[in-house]
Amino acid sequence: MPRRLGLPSVYLAAAVATAAATAVPLAMTPASGLTVRPAVTEPTRPYIVVARGRAAARDLVGEVRWRVRRYYTAALPGFATYLTAAELASLRADPRVRAVEPDRQLHPMPARRPARPMTGPETGAGTTIYLVDSGVDTGRAEFGDRAWRAYDATGGNGRDCTGHGTQVAGRAHAAAPAAGIASIRALGCGGPGSLADVLAGLDWIRRHARGPSVAALPVDGARSPALREAVGSLVDAGVFVVGAADAGECRIGPGGAAYTAALPGLAGAAARLLERTPDANPAILASLLNCTFARGAIRQNPSRALNLLMHSGGL
- Beta strands at 97-102 and 45-51: parallel, antiparallel or unpaired: antiparallel
The CATH architecture assigned to 128-310 reads 3-Layer(aba) Sandwich (3.40)
DSSP letter (8 states) at residue 185: E
CA 230 from centroid of its chain's CA atoms: 8
Q: How confident is the model at residue 311 (pLDDT cuts 50, 70, 90)?
A: very low
* 135-190 pLDDT per residue, tens: 999 999 999 999 999 999 999 999 999 999 999 999 999 999 999 999 999 999 99
pLDDT of res. 8: 38
If you count them, how many residues does the chain have? 315
Buried (b) or exposed (e) across 96-105, using 16+ Cβ within 10 A? ebbbbeebee
Question: Contact 240/91 with Cβ under 8 angstroms?
Answer: no
Q: For residue 130, which amino acid is it?
A: Y
Which of the four CATH numbers 3.40.1160.10, 3.90.1150.10, 3.90.120.10, 3.30.70.80 does domain 15-103 have?
Answer: 3.30.70.80
Question: Contact 79/47 with Cβ under 8 angstroms?
Answer: no
**d(C-alpha 187, C-alpha 32), whole Å:** 21
Asked if pLDDT for residue 4 goes beyond 80, the answer is no
Range name among 42-56, 228-242, 285-299 with the lowest pLDDT average: 285-299
Highest mean pLDDT among 11-20, 112-121, 279-288: 279-288
Q: What global pTM score does this model have?
A: 0.81
pLDDT of res. 76: 96
Asked if pLDDT for residue 248 goes beyond 50, the answer is yes
Domain parsing of the chain, residue ranges: 15-103, 128-310
Mean pLDDT across the stretch 180-208?
Answer: 97
